[in-house]
Amino acid sequence: MIEVVTLGTGSPIPDPNRAGAATLVRIDGHQLLFDCGRAVVMRLAAAGSLPMLLDAVLLTHLHSDHTSDFNDVITTRWIMAPVESPLPVVGPPGTRRFADRTLAMLTDDVGYRRDHHADLAWDPSCSVTEVVDGLAWEADGIRVTAAPTDHRPVAPTIGYRIEAGGRAVAIAGDTVPCEGLDRICAGADVYVQTVLRDDLVRSVPSPRFQDVLDYHSTCEDAGRTARRAGVQTLVLTHPVPPPAPGTEDEWVAAAAAHFDGEVVLAHDLWSVTLS
């Protein structure tokens, strides 16, 4: 059984109802966290999980809205774990350096807590695997593969395909349509895609906001990718800009114009279970 929980469905734009980008996948007692944006540990707790229960954190890329609370995952796992338990981390090249810098940032706090707690006899740590294309994580019949995506000038970036029990889930991250994205989505039961509405972004006269148009999938792009790959359910997440209340159907309709399967605009803690 695979459960997919969209823990955080926000973007860099603060939204009181949408935490930062993060998706939890639970499979037969294993728990994999994809990205860890703003407030991810609060949303993990709401989903009945905790950092110390994670088998791995898998990052699609190192943009801050996908990684801003990575430090909280590390610290909370460290202070709650009864024994030393390095955090397995998977991500594109650059992830090891990012993890090392995050651990360095935590040095003062690690010192305070180790001085105070005699039984906390180890520092937090990460075991990092960097990947661009191919096997990312594997255990007990669960297989996670990575493929390169296209979020340039941010590079390298990757998407993930999780396979177990004949089911498949694709977690795309930020990307425009590309060959690697098609590969992780091929025949998937669920495809989770970060999206924007180009009509709404274009209506905001800010050069910095307009810049985001060229490296994300629109709802229409996501619908076309879903159709091309033959997926069952398309899950739109990380909507830019945050949807105004009552306009959620517009986002779904924009994707559904290009895809006959089920389309969902996810909210925080939305979930689907594949048996």
Q: Is the Cβ of residue 49 or residue 194 nearer to Zn ion in the bound state?
A: 194
**Judged by CB under 5 A, does residue 216 bind Zn ion?**
no
Query: How far is 175 from 16, CA to CA, in rounded Å?
Result: 25
Q: Is the Cβ of residue 49 or residue 193 nearer to Zn ion in the bound state?
A: 193
Location of structure tokens 């030393």: 84
Q: What's the closest the beta carbon of residue 102 comes to Zn ion, in angstroms? A: 18
Task: Count Cα atoms within 13 angstroms, Cβ side, for 26.
Answer: 15
Judged by CB under 5 A, the number of residues near Zn ion is 3
Cβ(268)–Cβ(9) below 8 Å: yes
Q: Which of 65, 69, 163, 221 binds Zn ion (CB under 5 A)?
A: 65
Question: Which residues are CB-contacts of 16 (< 8 A; sequence separation ≥ 6)?
Answer: none
Query: How far is 173 from 67, CA to CA, in rounded Å?
Result: 12
Q: What's the closest the beta carbon of residue 66 comes to Zn ion, in angstroms? A: 6
17-20's contacts with Cβ under 8 Å and 24+ in sequence apart are: 17/267, 17/268, 18/242, 18/267, 18/268, 19/43, 19/268, 20/65, 20/66, 20/68, 20/69
User: Could you tell me which stretch among 72-80, 93-101, 172-180, 225-233 binds Zn ion (CB under 5 A)?
Assistant: 172-180
Question: Which residues are CB-contacts of 21 (< 8 A; sequence separation ≥ 6)?
Answer: 8, 9, 10, 11, 35, 37, 65, 66, 173, 194, 237, 238
65 is catalytic: yes
User: Could you tell me which stretch among 45-53, 65-73, 112-120, 177-185 binds Zn ion (CB under 5 A)?
Assistant: 65-73
User: Could you tell me which stretch among 93-101, 169-177, 199-207, 222-230 binds Zn ion (CB under 5 A)?
Assistant: 169-177
Q: What's the closest the beta carbon of residue 161 comes to Zn ion, in angstroms? A: 19
Cβ(240)–Cβ(265) below 8 Å: no
**Judged by CB under 5 A, does residue 63 bind Zn ion?**
yes
Q: Distance of alpha carbon 19 from its chain centroid, rounded? A: 12
Q: Which of 174, 198, 221, 268 binds Zn ion (CB under 5 A)?
A: 174
Q: Is the Cβ of residue 215 or residue 270 nearer to Zn ion in the bound state?
A: 215
User: Could you tell me which stretch among 45-53, 142-150, 166-174, 266-274 binds Zn ion (CB under 5 A)?
Assistant: 166-174
Q: Which of 35, 55, 65, 268 is catalytic?
A: 65
Q: What's the closest the beta carbon of residue 197 comes to Zn ion, in angstroms? A: 14
**Judged by CB under 5 A, does residue 38 bind Zn ion?**
no
Which residues would be at the binding site for Zn ion (CB under 5 A)?
63, 65, 174
Report the catalytic residues: 65
